[in-house]
Chain A
Amino acid sequence: MDVIRFLFRNHTQVLELTLEHLWLVGLSTVLAMLIGIPLGITIAHWPRWNKPVLASANIIQTIPSLALFGFLLPVPWLGARADRLAILALTLYALLPIIRNTYAGIRGVDAAVVEAGRGMGLTESQLLFQVELPLAVSVILSGVRIAVVISVGLATIAAAIGAGGLGEFIFRGLAMVDNRVILAGAIPAAIMALLADFGVGWLERQLRPR
Chain B
Amino acid sequence: MPSENPTPVIEFSDVSFHAGQTQVLRGLTLQVAKGETLILLGRSGSGKTTTLKLINALVSPSSGEVLVNGATHREVDVIRLRRGIGYVIQEVGLFPHFTVARNIGLVPKIEGWKEDRVQARVQELLHLVGLEAEIAARYPHQLSGGQRQRVGVARALAADPEILLMDEPFGALDPLTRDELQREFLALRQRLNKTVVFVTHDLHEALRLGSRIALMEAGKLVTVLTPQEFVKSDDPWAAAYVRAFGDGLESIANRGSSWT
Contacts and interface: CB of A to CB of B under 8 A. Distances in A.
Interface of A: 110, 112-123, 126, 130-131, 134-135, 209-210
Given A120-B83, A210-B141, A113 B93 contact: yes
B114 interface: no
Contacts, number: 65
Nearest to A122: B110
Interface stretch (B31-39, B94-102, B185-193): B94-102
Nearest to A119: B87
14 contacts: A110-B93, A113-B93, A115-B89, A116-B87, A116-B91, A118-B82, A119-B85, A119-B89, A120-B155, A126-B110, A135-B96, A209-B96, A209-B97, A210-B97
B30 interface: no
Contacts of A135: 96-97
- Give the size range of B's interface with the partner: 20 to 34
B92 A117 contact: no
B135 to A, nearest CB: 15
Given A116-B152, A120-B82, 19 more contacts: A112-B89, A112-B93, A113-B94, A113-B95, A116-B93, A117-B93, A119-B82, A120-B83, A120-B106, A120-B155, A121-B83, A122-B106, A126-B110, A130-B95, A130-B106, A135-B96, A135-B97, A210-B96, A210-B141
B107 interface: yes
Contacts of B79: 121-123
B241 interface: no
Contacts of A209: 96-97
